[in-house]
Amino acid sequence: MSTPGAIAVYTSGSGVPERVSERPWRGVYHHWDGYPSGLGQHLMARVQRAQGDMQAVVRQLIDEAPWGWSHCMPGPKAPEGQRHSEEGAGPRVTPDETGAVAYVYVFDLEARRLDAFSTCVGDDGERISSVVFSPTGTPDLPALDLLPEEAVSEPPLPGKELSPQALKDCLDGLPVLKAGSSILHWVTTEQRPDDALSITLRVVTFEEEVLTSVVEQEWDAVPPSARLEPERVRHFLEALVEVVSEDSRRLDAFWISAQDSLRRSGARQRGSFAKILRAHAARDFGSDEGS
């Protein structure tokens, strides 16, 4: 199921609005992964990769994609993302037309800020967070939807740069993740164009020895900076296995591939990562009842 969002830029005015319709903006529709930890995190990464050139990001994502996006997050099969065509244009989005999207992200070029608004049913277009970027693209927050547990910074664990094969070896050494008739397979690891490492994972479900479901996701798991701390990556993955094993509902390919603690926090120890992941699980799944 998609979570549509909108990528936009203010066209006039100033200040930080508390509602999505308080300042004029123009923007385009984005169909997949529109939540803050998906599209929101990607937009922050875009500004960082552009070394603070927010105008270039707006040009690439809005001006050069007037019909909107299926997704703008690159992958092996679509390194430039996937734009909508004029014939298959996405829904129109404006300050007064946000019913087609759950989140709106608006760049303020003058203030060097990205504002995030929730337009989900019941949220009334409220601003949920803002991030300000330095002239070189460094954000003042690591994410738009930080939880208290993520506000941790621990000493670095430097080591030999993690390769795709070393990451795969680490994954293969983890305990097997199973829940009922479902099992998770770590399929492949790859180096992305931005030097991050991605993991392709697959959750397979059987009923009475008959294959009933296969869900495969590509997970942009390891940012370039974390590759220089292989022990940190290992601690994160071990904590993930521990936390997923506690509740069968967490053996979900979409939920696992949305976890981004290596970017969103300064945690480096397994216990810290486990606290962060449990907080995300509590937010996304509620209590452990029925596990």
> Mean pLDDT score of the chain, rounded to an integer?
93
pLDDT in tens, 172-214: 999 999 998 999 999 999 999 889 999 999 999 998 888 899 9
33 with 47: CB under 8 angstroms?
no
Output the pLDDT for position 207. Answer: 87
Q: SS in 3 state form for the chain?
A: CCCCEEEEEECCCCCCCCECCCCCEEEEEECCCCCHHHHHHHHHHHHHHCCCCHHHHHHHHHHCCCCCEEECCCECCECCCEECCCCCCCCCCECCECCCCCEEEEEECCCCEEEEEECCCCCCCEEEEEEEECCCCCECCCCCCCCHHHCCECCCCCCCCCCHHHHHHHHHCCCCCEECCEEEEEEEEEECCCCCEEEEEEEEEEECCEEEEEEEEEEEEECHHHHHCHHHHHHHHHHHHHHHHCCHHHCCHHHHHCCCHHHHCECCCHHHHHHHHHHHHHHHHCCCCCC
Output the pLDDT for position 291. Answer: 40
Domain boundaries, the chain: 5-145, 164-285
For residue 196, what are the CA distances in angstroms to 40, 144, 249, 266? 18, 20, 28, 17
pLDDT bin (cut points 50, 70, 90) of residue 288 is low
196 with 263: CB under 8 angstroms?
no
pLDDT-above-70 percentage for the chain = 96
CA distance 243 to 272: 12
pLDDT at 105 over 50: yes
The winner for highest mean pLDDT among 163-167, 192-196, 206-210, 217-221 is 163-167
Angle between helices 230-245 and 164-172 (to 10 degrees): 30
pLDDT in tens, 222-240: 999 999 999 999 999 999 9
